[in-house]
Amino acid sequence: MKPIFYITGSSRGIGKALVEHALKTNNCYVYGISRKQSVEHERYNHISIDLSDANMLNGLELPFDAEADKVILINNAGMLGKVSPFGKQDNELIIKTHILNAIAPAVLSNWIIKKYSETASQIVILNVSSGAARYPVASWGNYCSSKASLDMLSRVISLENSNGKVKTFAVAPGVVDTEMQSEIRQASSSDFPDLQRFKDYKDNEQLSDVREVAERLMRIVNNPEGYKDTLLDVRKL
pLDDT tens, the chain, 237 aa long:
789 999 999 999 999 999 999 999 888 999 999 999 999 999 999 999 999 999 999 999 999 999 999 999 999 999 999 999 999 999 999 999 999 999 999 999 999 999 999 999 999 999 999 999 999 999 999 999 999 999 999 999 999 998 879 999 999 999 999 999 999 999 999 999 999 999 999 999 999 999 999 999 999 999 999 999 999 999 998
**pLDDT reported for residue 102:** 98
pLDDT of the residue at 164: 78
How far apart (Å, rounded) are the C-alpha atoms in residues 166 and 70?
10
The domain segmentation of the chain, as residue ranges, is 3-174+209-236
Spatial separation of the C-alpha atoms in residues 188 and 84, rounded to whole Å: 8
CATH architecture of 3-174+209-236: 3-Layer(aba) Sandwich (3.40)
What whole-number distance in Å separates Cα of residue 217 and Cα of residue 214?
A: 5
* Residue 25: per-residue pLDDT: 87
- CB crowding 154-180: b at 16 or more within 10 Å, else e: beebbeebeeeebbbbbbbbbbbbbeb
Q: How far is residue 127's CA from residue 235's CA, in Å, rounded to a whole number?
A: 16
Whole-structure pTM value? 0.96
Short-list 207, 118, 201, CA closest to 166: 118
pLDDT at 113: 97
